[in-house]
Amino acid sequence: MWGGRFAAGPDAVMQAINASIDFDQRLWREDLAGSRAHCRMLADQAIISAADRDAILGGLDQIEAELEAGDFTFDPALEDIHMHVEARLREIIGPAAGRLHTARSRNDQVATDFKLWVRNAIDSIDGQLAAFQTALLAQAEAHLETIMPGFTHLQTAQPVTLAHHLMAYWEMARRDRGRFADARARLNECPLGAGALAGTSFAIDRAATAAALDFDKPTDNSLDSVSDRDFALEFLSAASICALHLSRLAEELVIFASQPFGFVTLSDRFSTGSSMMPQKRNPDAAELTRAKVGRILGAFQALSIVMKGLPLTYSKDCQEEKEPVFDATDSLSLAIAAMSGIMEDLKFRPEPLRAHAAAGFSTATDLADWLVQALGLPFRDAHHVTGAIVKLAEDKGCGLEDLSLAEMQSVHSDITQDVFTRLGVDNSVASRTSHGGTSPTNVAAQIKAAKAVMGLE
């Protein structure tokens, strides 16, 4: 395609390092879409004839059918998907194929194809995240009254509802979807028509090709158009944060499924056994989801390093952009699917959840709050009094709610029987009615609002 300037072909090593068809063939749908839009615009602008337009579009239709059927032959000598399409088009329709590349460079072509691919990936991942949120909502609705320990430092801190805990991950997914939506909005400008770097002298209509490809507008600077990969970095950044959230949930499930905790049972569909120990049920899907974040964060790091020193405009370094993005997308998609499936099947065990929620004097803060509200103690004084009462219960080997009023009054004489309305995990959870708090009433309202946002009711 560029041999007129060269007297000899590339060395085998040069051909190997230069070819990207092994991975960028994934762009074929986007490449055909961009070529069709460009072809129609050229004809509308009288840059090519209607006959050439029809021949090109017919040839592209045949190429699409061959690719869909798996009958298309790939040749590393043709470097990339763009040259493969052009070469096959020439075989089908002859010299008219050469007119398709009028007023177009591979630089703006690949930027357009890659933007289209990332945009499609965002739309697919958004749908997966919505399904994940739906699974979380279903479990949350089923466990509005189920009490579990809330942790800090992985130590039992205060009782919360299981629904509240699950809805925390719904919120993370909501923010993830927002980040992907923001990235999609920013990338939705069309580079096609920017040429190699400086635009073109042909009277093209970039607004028409942008509209045909569902972009909001054409890009405004031809230099930036062909060299910008912010959209890929932003996509990988959003993917990395999303993967971190999935990894946190996966980590909790690995811990919660272990025998010392016994909070959950993973289904057979998302567990594996041991080749040696017949009793084992291993949470491998969760563990592998936890591991996928390494590949996705690595992709962001890899592309950042590729881009950090590139001068304007296009450099062949940019060829290395695609593999990390493709791999990260595959990894994230698989991780979301795994966590959605796990969540749909997951069985929670209310008894150990409740028992652990009551352990470690988890309602001590409720006692301190009561001392402030009922007796008017400064919180720091209430904190001290509560600590002394906790020590008393610890020495007796009982819970705070199991102490007698007299025993509490031995620490502070003004304590009344009313204190017991705050102690115990049910009372504690019910009292947390501040906005965003864990009371079942609050969480029910949050679930209702979440379903409304998602159009589920």
- Residue 153 is among the residues annotated as catalytic for this protein: yes
Tokens of 340: 């959605």
Phi/psi at 170 (5° precision): -60, -40
Measured CA to CA, the distance from residue 336 to residue 401 in angstroms comes to: 42
Q: How open is the CA angle 336-341-345, to the nearest 5 degrees? A: 150
Q: What is the C-alpha R_g of the chain?
A: 30
- Contacts by residues 375-382 (CB-CB < 8 Å, ≥ 24 positions apart): 375/412, 375/414, 375/415
Measured CA to CA, the distance from residue 405 to residue 415 in angstroms comes to: 8
Q: Are 263 and 348 within 8 A, CB to CB?
A: yes
Tokens of 225: 């158009």
3-state SS, residue 427: helix
Q: Which of 49, 124, 258, 274 is catalytic?
A: 274
Q: Which of 153, 201, 404, 435 is catalytic?
A: 153
Separation of CA 39 from chain center = 35
- Residue 331 is among the residues annotated as catalytic for this protein: no
Q: Which residues pair with 147 in a beta bridge?
A: 161
Q: Are 18 and 6 within 8 A, CB to CB?
A: no
Please tell me the number of Cα atoms within 13 Å of 137 on its side-chain side.
Answer: 23
Other Cβ atoms within 10 Å of 410 Cβ, number: 14
Measured CA to CA, the distance from residue 43 to residue 52 in angstroms comes to: 8
Catalytic residues: 153, 274
